[in-house]
């Protein structure tokens, strides 16, 4: 997290990680569509014509004033293609929480595993504890054939400690749940490990309330 005491501003950095073409950029597009328009900044993407991120995408979200402090979220994606290894490491710098976007198709199982190991390496390279860094997992592309079954994913979820979400990002399904799960886990970690409450007087519960109200408030 970045704290600017002068501006009374707190910025939390969240990163969408995963193998090439798993749907990271698609998740950001869906978040941009789903959140209240007054909370969303401009979505910056840089892609080739075949949907491949060249550097990273960035979506800034504004939660607004919460107990006198202005809270911002910055959502990044990494480029999944193997050749962009150094960019992925760079994007992970100072990251507070990660959503790992896996491709549900059986054919992509190996690619998911390699990207997961790559993420753990890059976390370590950036001085994080890979095992305790806030992480949620999304199994995307649930609409496609030849995917891992719901039962398989539920079993994986029961064995691991990370929250697991199923999604069809292209239709916005599961996107909000993934983001809220990630924010929840991240602010709890910031509270427990980085003294969020002592530093800015905002608890993780205050945070979640503000996020729900500001990002996903229904029109009256
Ligand atoms: N059928 C289906 N296609 C999806 C889904 N989510 C994303 N896609 C498609 O998968 C392709 C890749 O999606 P992106 O979001 O660009 O993938 P990415 O993870 O950002 O890829 P890189 O930037 O190369 O790492 C696009 O053609 C998307 O439309 C989904 O839930 N279902
Ligand atoms: Mg992308």
**pLDDT, one tens digit for every residue, the chain (220 residues):** 999 988 899 999 999 999 999 999 999 999 999 999 999 999 999 888 788 888 899 999 999 998 889 999 999 999 999 999 999 999 999 999 999 999 999 999 999 999 999 999 999 999 999 999 999 999 999 999 999 999 999 999 999 999 999 999 999 999 999 999 999 999 999 999 999 999 888 999 999 999 999 999 876 5
Q: What angle do CA 180, 57, 183 make, to 5 degrees?
A: 15
Map residue 33 onto helix, strand or coil.
helix
Ligand 1, atom 24: closest residue by C-alpha: 52
Query: Counting ligands in written order, which one lies closest to the CA of residue 118?
Result: 1
Closest approach atom of ligand 1 to CA 142: 31
Residue pair 178/136 in contact by the 8 Å Cβ criterion: yes
Residue pair 57/48 in contact by the 8 Å Cβ criterion: no
The residue length of the chain stands at 220
Residues 6+ apart with CB under 8 A from 95: 13, 14, 15, 76, 126, 128
Residue pair 125/91 in contact by the 8 Å Cβ criterion: no
Residue pair 36/215 in contact by the 8 Å Cβ criterion: yes
Map residue 67 onto helix, strand or coil.
coil
Q: What pLDDT does 67 receive?
A: 87
Distance 165 CA to ligand 1 centre (A): 16
Measured CA to CA in angstroms, residue 61 lies from 1, 38, 51, 155, 215 at distances of 14, 9, 23, 34, 8
Ligand 1, atom 11: closest residue by C-alpha: 21
Distance 199 CA to ligand 1 centre (A): 39
Give the DSSP H or E segment for 186: helix 175-194
Closest approach atom of ligand 1 to CA 53: 23
- The residues lining ligand 1, judged by C-beta closer than 6 Å to any ligand atom, are 18, 20-26, 51-53, 77, 79-81, 140-141, 143-144, 168-170
Distance 52 CA to ligand 1 centre (A): 9
Q: What is the pTM for the complete model shown? A: 0.97
Ligand 1, atom 30: closest residue by C-alpha: 141
Q: What pLDDT does 219 receive?
A: 61
Query: Counting ligands in written order, which one lies closest to the CA of residue 27?
Result: 1
Distance 141 CA to ligand 1 centre (A): 8
Q: What pLDDT does 66 receive?
A: 87
Distance 56 CA to ligand 1 centre (A): 14
Distance 104 CA to ligand 1 centre (A): 12
CA dihedral 62, 63, 65, 67 (to 10 degrees): -150
Architecture of domain 2-216: 3-Layer(aba) Sandwich (3.40)
Closest approach atom of ligand 1 to CA 28: 15
């Amino acid at each position: 997290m970045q704290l600017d005491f002068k501006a009374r501003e707190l910025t939390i950095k969240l990163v969408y990680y995963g193998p090439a073409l798993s749907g990271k950029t698609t998740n950001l597009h869906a978040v941009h569509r789903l959140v209240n328009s007054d909370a969303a900044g401009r979505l910056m993407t840089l892609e080739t014509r075949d949907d491949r991120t060249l550097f990273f995408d960035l979506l800034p979200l504004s939660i607004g004033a919460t107990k006198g402090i202005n809270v911002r979220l910055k959502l990044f994606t990494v480029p999944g293609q193997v050749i962009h290894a150094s960019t992925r490491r760079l994007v992970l710098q100072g990251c507070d929480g990660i959503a790992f976007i896996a491709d549900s198709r059986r054919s992509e199982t190996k690619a998911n595993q390699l990207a997961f190991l790559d993420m753990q390496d890059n976390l370590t390279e950036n001085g994080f504890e890979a095992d305790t860094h806030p992480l949620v997992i999304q199994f995307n592309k649930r609409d496609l054939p030849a995917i891992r079954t719901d039962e398989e994913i539920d079993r994986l979820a029961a064995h691991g400690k990370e929250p697991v979400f199923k999604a069809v990002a292209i239709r916005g399904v599961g996107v909000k749940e993934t983001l809220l799960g990630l924010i929840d886990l991240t602010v709890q970690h910031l509270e427990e490990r980085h003294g969020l409450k002592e530093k800015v007087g905002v608890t993780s519960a205050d945070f979640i309330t503000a996020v729900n109200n500001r990002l996903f408030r229904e029109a009256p």
